[in-house]
Amino acid sequence: MNILYVFAHQEPRSFNSTLKEAAIASLEKEGHSVRLSDLYAMGFKPVLDRTDFMQPKRTDVFNPFMEQMNASKNDTFAPDIMVEMNKVKWADLLVFQFPIYFTSMPAIMKGWIDRIFAPGFAFNPATQNAYDTGLLKGKRAMIVTSTGAEQSWYSREGQHGDIHELLRYITHCTLEFTGLEVLPSHIVFGASKMSEERVKEETSKYVEKLKSFT
Amino acid sequence: MNILYVFAHQEPRSFNSTLKEAAIASLEKEGHSVRLSDLYAMGFKPVLDRTDFMQPKRTDVFNPFMEQMNASKNDTFAPDIMVEMNKVKWADLLVFQFPIYFTSMPAIMKGWIDRIFAPGFAFNPATQNAYDTGLLKGKRAMIVTSTGAEQSWYSREGQHGDIHELLRYITHCTLEFTGLEVLPSHIVFGASKMSEERVKEETSKYVEKLKSFT
User: Which residues are paired to A182 by β-bridges?
Assistant: A141
Catalytic annotation present for B134: no
The per-residue pLDDT of chain B, averaged, comes to 97
pLDDT of residue A151: 95
Q: What angle do CA A93, A98, A100 make, to 5 degrees?
A: 135
Catalytic annotation present for B148: yes
Residues A34-77: pLDDT tens digits?
Answer: 999 999 999 999 999 999 999 999 999 999 999 999 999 999 99
Q: How far is B30 from chain A (nearest CA, A)?
A: 31
Residues written for chain B: 214
Give the CA count within 13 Å in the CB-facing half-sphere of B66.
12
Residues B140-197: pLDDT tens digits?
Answer: 999 999 999 999 999 999 999 999 999 999 999 999 999 999 999 999 999 988 999 9
Closest CA to A112 of A56, A174, A173: A174
Residues 65-94 of B with CB under 8 A from A: 65
Q: What is the mean pLDDT of residues A80-105?
A: 98
Q: Provide the annotated active-site residues of A.
A: 148, 154, 160
Q: What is the mean pLDDT of residues B74-101?
A: 98
Residues A140-149: pLDDT tens digits?
Answer: 999 999 999 9
Q: Which domains does chain A have, with CATH numbers?
A: 2-213 (3.40.50.360)
Separation of CA B6 from chain center: 5
Q: What is the mean pLDDT of residues A149-175?
A: 95
pLDDT of residue B10: 98
The answer to whether A194 touches A16, Cβ cutoff 8 Å, is no
pLDDT of residue B203: 98
Say whether pLDDT at B34 is over 90: yes
Distance, in Å, from the CA atom of B94 to the CA atom of B180, rounded to the nearest integer, reads: 9
pLDDT of residue B6: 98
Residues B128-144: pLDDT tens digits?
Answer: 999 999 999 999 999 99
Question: Given pLDDT bands bounded at 50, 70 and 90, which one contains residue A193?
Answer: confident
Q: Does any CB of chain B come closer than 8 Å to the CB of residue A131?
A: yes
- Is the Cβ pair B148, A65 closer than 8 Å? yes
A56: exposed, middle or buried (Cβ count in 10 Å: 0-12, 13-18, 19+): middle
Q: What does the DSSP assignment read for chain B?
A: -EEEEEE--S-TTSHHHHHHHHHHHHHHHTT-EEEEEEHHHHT------GGGBSS-S-SSS--HHHHHHHHHHHT-B-HHHHHHHHHHHH-SEEEEEEE-SSSS--HHHHHHHHHHS-BTTTBBTTTTB-GGG-TTTT-EEEEEEE-SS-GGGGSTTSSS--HHHHTHHHIIIIIGGGTPEEPPPEEE-S-SS--HHHHHHHHHHHHHHHHHH-
Q: Which amino acid is at B179?
A: G
Residues A118-143: pLDDT tens digits?
Answer: 999 999 999 999 999 999 999 999 99
Long-range contacts, stretch B21-30, CB < 8 angstroms, 24+ apart: B22/B203, B22/B204, B22/B206, B22/B207, B23/B95, B23/B97, B23/B144, B23/B206, B23/B207, B23/B210, B26/B207, B26/B210, B26/B211, B27/B3, B27/B210, B27/B214, B30/B211, B30/B214
> How large is the ipTM?
0.97
Q: Does any CB of chain B come closer than 8 Å to the CB of residue A148?
A: yes
Question: Given pLDDT bands bounded at 50, 70 and 90, which one contains residue A80?
Answer: very high
Q: Does any CB of chain A come closer than 8 Å to the CB of residue B194?
A: no
pLDDT of residue A8: 98
pLDDT of residue A192: 86
